[in-house]
Every structure is written in C-alpha cells, then in structure tokens.
Amino acid sequence: MRVYQAHYALRVELIRLLKDKGVSEDQLFADLSRRGISPLPPADGLRPIDEGLVALEAAVELSGDPCLMIRLGQRLGLASYGSFGFALMSCANVRDSIRLLLRYGQVVFRPIWEVQEHEGGLLLRPEITIGTAKQKQLLSELIFSNFVMLGRELHGNSVARADDVELHLSFSRPSYWARYKQAFDIPVAFECEHNQLFLPARILDLPVKTANRAEHILFQQQCEEILRGLQAVGKTTAAVRHVLIQSAGDFLDITQVARRLNLSERTMRRRLVAESVSFSSIVDEIKDLLAREYLAKTELKIAEIGDLLGYAEPSSFRRAFVRWNGMTPIDYRQQHMTENIPQGAYA
C-alpha cells in the first residue's frame, strides 16, 4: 500500500480533469516550472503543502474552470485512501469515522482536522494556515467536496440531505456559487469566521453501510503502523510487521513475506537477526496485538478469534495467549472489555 496513496490518486485525477479541459500534463508541468516548482514529484511522492497549493492554483488557471477543485474532490472516493479508506468503511457510525479521522487523518490528509463541540453537535475544521486567500479557498473547496463525497459513500445520502448539516466558509460567495448547491446539497454560509462543517448530534450515530468490527481492527492497525512511522524498530522488522498486518486473517509464511519484500528468505532472516529479532517473534507480536484488540473491542467468541489468527483449535490459541500475556483470553476480556466511549469524547 502507498503511504501517500491519496496524494497519488489526487494527482492522477487532476491530470484527467485537465485533459478533459484540453490541458495536457506537459502544459501543467511547464507552468509549474515557470512558477519555480519542479514537475518531478519528491522521492516520497508528497510535495510540501505550499507547493501543492501553487499546483492547484495553476491547474484552475490553465483549465479556465473555477469549479475545478470541487470537481476534483468529487473524483476521490474511499478507494483512493488505501487502508485509511477501508478503515473508514468498516467503522460503525459517523462518530467512529470522526475518531478515525482525528487519530489517523494525518496519514493521508494535509491539513489536519480538528473537532469542536457546538450546540450538541460537532464542528469539523481543517487547519489551513498557509497560502494566499485564493489558494485557501481552492483547498477548502477540494477538501469539503471530497468530505461530502466520502460521507455519501459511507452513509448514502442521509448525511448530505440533512437540513441541519451546514457548511461554513470564510471567503465571500463566488460567482459560481450555484455549483455549491449541486456539489454539497446542504446549506452553505459564506464570510464566516472559519471554514468548517457542522454535524448535529443526531447525525453522529448514523451507521456506516459497510460496518465490520473485525475488519476495522485490522485496517486500524495498518493505519497505526503508518502513523508511528515504524521508527522504533529496524527497517526490515518494520517492513515484515507491515506485511503481516496487511495479510492478517490469512497470515503469510516467511517465504511469502520475503517474496512480498523482494528478498530471498535467507537474506530476510539474516537482516532480522542483525536487528535482534526473529520472524516467529514478529508473528507472535502481531497475533498478540490483534488478539487483545479483538478481545477488548469485539464480541467475537474465543474460538472465532483463534480462527481469525490461524489457530485450528481454541486450545492452541488459549495456550499461545497465556504464553504472551500470562492470563487466559477469557480473563483478559473480563479485565479489558471497553465500555462505550462517551458521546462527547473525541480525544
């Protein structure tokens, strides 16, 4: 999975939109060069935010379409966000989606979102602190059109059609403001103090159509791995952990993992030894992590959890869990079963 898959998808869709407007990729790159920006992406595929803002502005000017960012936001679906998108799809409701956004949004989003409680609901506010007034407007249009698009994929039209969902924008009403009605289908107010989306309390427990708690834990762990940057462990150990997390539910063996990493099994073993770890210990670490998550955060039966982790017999899973944690799965569940998070808690 691309760590910055969303940025790659944005670039691809932007080029397609420009092509529809008769603007070639070479024309965009030439314009960016004139503005002092290299047309070649950085090694990690992620441009500094200020360069990205200039690129968005250049695209709008070249296309002659002031609504280009609204159209671009509507092109980026959940699949564009890799594991983060799948994690969103497996959330239980709007409230869980927002928690996920706060915790892992920085994996794929810039700027970062902040949330404030307001009149029993929530204000979702992107932190846009740099760029010209025009660039901030374009980025806001892109962000919110995409946010509404993702909401429709997750919840159908229930969120977008709610009369008490509101979009607040800090800039003046543009000449093409009628396009906002088509794109958002919610009340839009201009010249507000902040760019933000208001969600009333009754919306927060709206279910996600594709909710799946077991899958949610797997995708959440993938996001966690990316968020941590895997800086606490060696390079090969980090790579192995990431592959195993991605394959959880159908755990790969050492040969398969080495193949995924384009290494020979011997080379991978040697590198792991150099990092003072073994393949089996990494497998145990990942299985233990997932086992504790399943026990604490789902109502899956012990046998079902063992089966998800590759144990044919519940007794085998029980022995492994006792070895990892010094207690049985049942005892762990009784001690660590999480209560429902209070509705106002988003920290």
Please compute the mean of the pLDDT values over residues 103-121 and round it to a whole number.
74
Q: Is 213-336 in the same CATH topology as 5-203?
A: no
Label residue 226 by pLDDT band (50, 70, 90). low
* Concatenated DSSP letters of 36-48: T--SSPPTTS---
Within the chain, residue ranges assigned H as helices are: 5-20, 25-34, 49-63, 68-75, 82-89, 94-108, 133-155, 178-184, 213-228, 235-247, 254-260, 265-274, 279-297, 302-308, 314-325, 329-336
At residue 340, the pLDDT reads: 39
CATH of 5-203, one of 3.90.1520, 3.30.2010, 3.30.70, 3.30.110: 3.90.1520
Residue 318: what pLDDT? Answer: 93
What pLDDT digit, counting tens, does each position of 234-265 carry? Answer: 678 878 887 887 776 678 899 999 988 888 99
Instruction: Tell me, rounded to whole angstroms, the distance of Cα 314 from its chain centroid.
Output: 34
Q: What is the mean pLDDT of residues 335-346?
A: 51
Q: What angle do CA 237, 240, 244 make, to 5 degrees?
A: 140
Q: What pLDDT shows up at residue 302?
A: 92
Q: Encode 269-294: b = buried (16+ Cβ within 10 Å), e = exposed.
A: bebbeeeebebeebbebbbbbbbbbb
pLDDT in tens, 164-195: 889 999 999 999 988 888 888 889 999 999 99
pLDDT exceeds cutoff 60 at 347: no
Interacting residues of 334 by C-beta distance below 8 A, sequence separation 6+? none
Separation of alpha carbons 190 and 178, rounded Å: 13
Boundaries of every domain in the chain: 5-203, 213-336
Average pLDDT over residues 216-239: 70
Cα angle: 253, vertex 283, 4; to 5 degrees: 85
Is residue 126 within 8 Å of 49, Cβ to Cβ?
A: no
**Residues 6+ away with beta carbon under 8 Å from 243:** 252, 257, 260, 261
- Tell me how far apart the alpha carbons of residues 3 and 6 are, in angstroms, rounded to a whole number: 8
CA 90 to chain centre: 12
| Domain 213-336 in this protein, CATH class | mainly alpha
Sheet holding 113-118, edge to edge: 113-118, 121-126, 196-199, 166-168, 188-189
DSSP per position, 138-198: HHHHHHHHHHHHHHHHHHTTTTTT-TT-EEE-SSPPPTTTHHHHHHH-S-EE-S-SS-EEE
- Whether the full predicted model's pTM is greater than 0.75, yes or no, is no
pLDDT digit string, tens, across residues 4-22: 457 778 888 999 999 999 9
Mean per-residue pLDDT over the chain, rounded: 83
pLDDT above 50 (res 231): no
State the pLDDT at residue 129. Answer: 79
In the DSSP assignment, the letter for residue 79 is G
Distances (CA, A) of 214 to 14, 129, 291: 35, 37, 11
